[in-house]
C-alpha cells in the first residue's frame, strides 16, 4: 500500500507534505514557505478530525533545512 501523504490531493508539484497540524499551530511553524491545506488525512487516505489541517512546504526549503 502506498503512503497517501506522498500523493495528498492538495499537494502541489514543488511541495512535500510535512505533517497534520492542529488548527492554530501553524503560527508557531518556522518554515518560510509553509502552506496550510484544507483536509487532513491519515497515511491510508482516511479523513482526520476537522480540527487538523495538512502542512505543506516547498521541497527546496525542506531539503535545505534537513541537510543543515
* pLDDT band for position 68 (cuts 50, 70, 90): confident
Q: Which pairs count as long-range contacts for 38-44, CB under 8 Å and 24+ apart, including other chains?
A: 38/10, 39/9, 39/10, 41/4, 41/5, 41/8, 42/4, 43/3, 43/4, 43/5, 44/1, 44/4
Specify the higher pLDDT residue, 2 or 54: 54
- Does the pLDDT value for residue 18 go beyond 80? yes
Q: What is the pLDDT of residue 2?
A: 62
Q: What is the pLDDT of residue 4?
A: 73
Average pLDDT over residues 16-23: 93
Calculate the average pLDDT of the chain.
89
Q: What is the pLDDT of residue 15?
A: 95
**Domain count of the fold of the chain:** 1
- Which residue range forms the structural domain that includes residue 31? 4-66
How many whole angstroms separate alpha carbon 65 and alpha carbon 57? Answer: 11
Amino acid at each position: 500500500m502506498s503512503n497517501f501523504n506522498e500523493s495528498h490531493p492538495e499537494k502541489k508539484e514543488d511541495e512535500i507534505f510535512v505533517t497534520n497540524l492542529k488548527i492554530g499551530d501553524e503560527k508557531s511553524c518556522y518554515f518560510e514557505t509553509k502552506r496550510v491545506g484544507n483536509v487532513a488525512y491519515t497515511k491510508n487516505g482516511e479523513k482526520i478530525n476537522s480540527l487538523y489541517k495538512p502542512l505543506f512546504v516547498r521541497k527546496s526549503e525542506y531539503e535545505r533545512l534537513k541537510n543543515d
